Amino acid sequence: MSRTPLLVFTALLAAAPLQSQSFPTDDAVLRKIWTEGMVNSQAMSLIQVLTDSVGPRLTGTPGMTSGQEWLKATYTRWGIPARTEQYGTWVGWKRGPSHVDLIAPRVRSLEGGMLGWSPGTKGKAVQGGTAILPPPADSAKFNAWLATVKGKFVLGSLAEASCRPDSSYVQWAGQNAFDEFSRARQLNRQAWQGRGINRAMAERLENAGAAGVITTNWTGGWGSTRIFQAQTRVVPTLALSCEDYGLVYRLTERNQGPMIRVTAEAEFQGEVPVFNVMAEIKGSTKPDEYVMLSAHFDSWDGSSGATDNGTGSVTMLEAMRILKAAYPAPKRTILAGHWSGEEQGLNGSRGFAADHPEVVKGLQALFNQDNGTGRVVNLSAAGLVGAGANIAGWVSRLPSELSQGLNLGFPGSPAGGGSDNAAFACYGAPGLGLGSEGADYGTYTWHTGRDTYDKVIESNLKRNATLTAMLVYLASEDPVTVPRDRRILPNRPDGTPGTWPACPTPARKSPWANP
């Protein structure tokens, strides 16, 4: 089939449901939002640039700076004012190429790479044997072992007996075999309790002359490994896939002479300023009241940050484009916050909320999305007992294609810290989360090396951006200000009374110094 007829057919499929929609006949804005979001969507072209060209956006790195400049340039091209706002500083770090190879007892290029904020190898290849981190409880034995690690790469994680997902093991080995396997695995995991590479352990290894640290963090799915940050400050930390880590671990455990060669380039750049990007469409009649679009823009460094949180970022970016085209003179001011430092503790959004009490005070609603490429299906009143009437009113005006399957939670509970809406909810402001379907987020894309462009589901991204734009429009036009009466929260599991989340002091500086 030729490209042109396919594109026309796809557009017709997208546009056709509009004919049977329950759109209010007098609401031209909703109809235009639908057309802009579902027919004229730019969502996939935006996320392709963000994930493939810009790539990962670790706070304090050139990738974050590049992405923020792209954001501002994109908004400017659409005629939407956008700015960076500094909220603090963070450790600056620049990634270069990294490579890790097994060179004995056989040669294999290993699947893995340097973790974020890891030191490099100072322009040369570093080669060494391997050693398995023992339990530190017996200090005499541990100190004796520590004296043997000079020039070696320390394996600091448990090796999985199998990197096959549990469901596959049950399917092909049977339940009895899996139960036996699972019991043995649990014993191995118990034996590893208390072991791991925190900052204190990393420092001991570095002082002992270790050549580097190698870790893994399997998600339980095929080929997926969690990516976080290095704890070392002098020698490199590498993360390997579940399968290749197991290979090196078994060779080490059985004294079969593994040798590793690592080349890694990295540059620490001191404490650097860090920013949020804010885009704004000024309100026409209530400029001191706000409806916000919210998503964290930073990501971990092991992949391109497609679903955590490129999809949330593009949902808000595309929604702003749609609103500029369909609703250029909003009643209330519309703000989009693209936050930095979320992965380190909601630092950007908490800094903004603390620095802008006028926005928190005038906040009609904030819509935050941060859990992958699934369809948005959950929206709650975030613990505000009177907000349900406003939210129900907005949802009642959505077309059925967007409202069908949308679960409303009244009164709900305030966000406690999982994502950036918590930075506003702690003040009692309506910080609302747009909760998505799983779409294999927890197992395959959340903080993994598999979080790439190809995992984005186009129809969901278009739908989520359109839904968000409609909710922002309806919240902006609502003649009723969202009330802030707080629910009485249920008791905690220990029986003590539930309390509203407190607003912590924003982190304005990285907690550890540069090497």
**For each of the chain's 515 residues, which pLDDT tens digit applies?**
433 333 332 233 333 344 445 566 689 999 999 999 999 999 999 999 999 999 999 999 999 999 999 999 999 999 999 999 999 999 999 999 999 999 999 999 999 999 999 999 998 999 999 999 999 888 999 999 999 999 999 999 999 999 999 999 999 999 999 999 999 999 999 999 989 999 999 999 999 999 999 999 999 999 999 999 999 999 999 999 999 999 999 999 999 999 999 999 999 999 999 999 999 999 999 999 999 999 999 999 989 999 999 999 999 999 999 999 999 999 999 999 999 999 999 999 999 999 999 999 999 999 999 999 999 999 999 999 999 999 999 999 999 999 999 999 999 999 999 999 999 999 999 999 999 999 999 999 999 999 999 999 999 999 999 999 999 999 999 999 999 999 999 999 999 999 999 999 999 999 976 66
pLDDT of residue 326: 98
pLDDT of residue 513: 65
How many residues are given for the chain?
Answer: 515
Nearby residues of 336 by Cβ (< 8 Å), 6 or more positions away: 278, 279, 280, 292, 293, 294, 316, 317, 319, 320
pLDDT of residue 331: 98
Does 23-91+271-477 match 106-257 in CATH topology?
Answer: no
CATH dotted code for 23-91+271-477: 3.40.630.10
Domain boundaries, the chain: 23-91+271-477, 106-257
In this prediction the pTM is 0.93
pLDDT of residue 354: 98
pLDDT of residue 26: 81
3-class secondary structure per residue, 160-214:
CCCCCCHHHHHHHHCHHHHHHHHHHHHHHHHHCCCCCCCHHHHHHHHHCCCCEEE
Is the CB of residue 29 less than 8 Å from the CB of residue 326?
Answer: yes
pLDDT tens profile 117-164: 999 999 899 999 999 999 988 899 999 999 999 999 999 999 999 999
pLDDT of residue 64: 98
Query: Which residue is listed with tokens 């009643």?
Result: 331
- Cα–Cα distance between 191 and 188 in angstroms, integer? 5
Is the CB of residue 372 less than 8 Å from the CB of residue 439?
Answer: yes
The topology (CATH level 3) of 106-257 is Glucose Oxidase; domain 1 (3.50.30)
Query: Which residue is listed with tokens 């699934």?
Result: 374
pLDDT of residue 2: 35
